[in-house]
């Protein structure tokens, strides 16, 4: 069985390191390739993007190798993976054999979350607590907040400025994962990913709210492996 590269895109405010341990929970034929955005971890000296277009232009310059390969994105990472796959298609380049969108509403659906990136610090933090599923430790720890909140603000700017444009659905399979009770992506939002593929979309909901990928990791990785196996039987 050949190796299948799985490019993983991080959620808002986070870096790629969270995916590096996933290989231990996936079959040996899945090769985790975390994608690092500017402004975090080893790229912390770079300014984070506040709009999607320049980030997609940067990522489209990456070498994804020969197909097959797959994309996984959680929250903001799901939006990035989706629009990157669209950009690869526009350029006539190979597209993923499977795209897994996790904890993000189907992009054609209007988002109910308020716009908060223009707010001063205290109001910004208060709105994060009220309307978003954000780890309290990040908000209450001054050191963590100083490091992470500017990146999170920039990442939310990407989401707030995003404008969905109609394009044909993909002709490769998608999977859509959601968290039960997630305030940012409800069950209907997750199921609506079906409109983005001509093939049946594999929809799965897990306990654990927005960060079910952490609290329910073994179940998530088992479902991810099953989706990859179904999309690329010979991998």
Within a domain: 89: yes
Band of pLDDT at residue 235, cut at 50, 70 and 90: low
Distance CA 222, CA 235 (A): 16
**Residues ≥6 apart with Cβ < 8 Å to 172:** 95, 96, 97, 98, 99, 197, 199, 231
Band of pLDDT at residue 134, cut at 50, 70 and 90: confident
Q: What's the pLDDT tens digit per position in 47-81?
A: 999 999 999 999 999 999 999 999 999 999 999 99
Q: Is the pLDDT of residue 1 over 90?
A: no
Distance CA 77, CA 83 (A): 10
Within a domain: 76: yes
Instruction: Report the CATH number that the domain containing residue 11 is assigned in CATH.
Output: 3.40.50.1820
Per-residue pLDDT, 131: 77
The residues assigned a catalytic role are: 75
- Report the half-sphere exposure of 51 (CA within 13 A, side-chain side): 6
Domain assignment of residue 75, given as a range: 4-110+165-231
Q: Which residues pair with 22 in a beta bridge?
A: none
Within a domain: 117: no
Q: Token pair 């998608």 is at which residue?
A: 174
Within a domain: 133: no
Distance CA 114, CA 86 (A): 26
Q: What's the pLDDT tens digit per position in 181-221?
A: 998 899 999 999 999 999 999 999 999 899 999 999 999 99
* Cis bond upstream, residue 101 (ω within 30): no
Within a domain: 55: yes
How many independent structural domains does the chain possess? 1
Within a domain: 209: yes
Within a domain: 131: no
To the question of pTM greater than 0.75 for the whole model, the response is: yes
Within a domain: 121: no
CB 85 within 8 A of CB 71: yes
Strand order in the sheet with 202-206: 30-34, 4-9, 70-74, 98-102, 174-179, 202-206
List C-alpha distances in Å: 92 to 85, 86, 88, 203: 11, 10, 6, 28
């Amino acid at each position: 069985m050949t190796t299948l590269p799985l490019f993983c895109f991080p959620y808002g405010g986070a870096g790629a390191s969270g995916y590096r341990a996933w290989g231990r929970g996936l079959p040996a034929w899945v090769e985790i390739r975390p994608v690092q955005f500017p402004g975090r971890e080893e790229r912390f000296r770079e300014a984070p993007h506040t709009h999607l277009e320049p980030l997609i232009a940067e990522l489209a310059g990456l070498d994804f190798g020969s197909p097959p390969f797959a994309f996984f994105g959680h929250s903001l990472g799901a939006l990035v993976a989706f629009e990157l796959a669209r950009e690869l298609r526009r350029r006539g380049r190979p597209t993923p054999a499977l795209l897994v969108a996790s904890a993000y509403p189907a992009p054609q659906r209007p988002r109910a979350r308020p716009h908060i990136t223009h707010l001063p610090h205290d109001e910004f933090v208060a709105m994060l607590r009220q309307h978003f599923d954000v780890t309290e430790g990040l908000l209450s720890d001054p050191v963590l907040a100083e490091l992470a909140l500017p990146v999170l603000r920039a990442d939310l700017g990407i989401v707030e400025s995003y404008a969905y444009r109609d394009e044909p659905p993909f002709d490769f399979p998608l999977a859509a994962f959601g968290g039960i009770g997630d305030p940012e992506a409800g069950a209907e939002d997750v199921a609506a990913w079906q409109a983005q593929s001509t093939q049946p979309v594999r929809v799965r909901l897990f306990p654990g709210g927005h960060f079910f990928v952490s609290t329910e990791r073994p179940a998530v990785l088992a479902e991810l492996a099953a989706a990859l196996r179904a999309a690329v039987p010979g991998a």
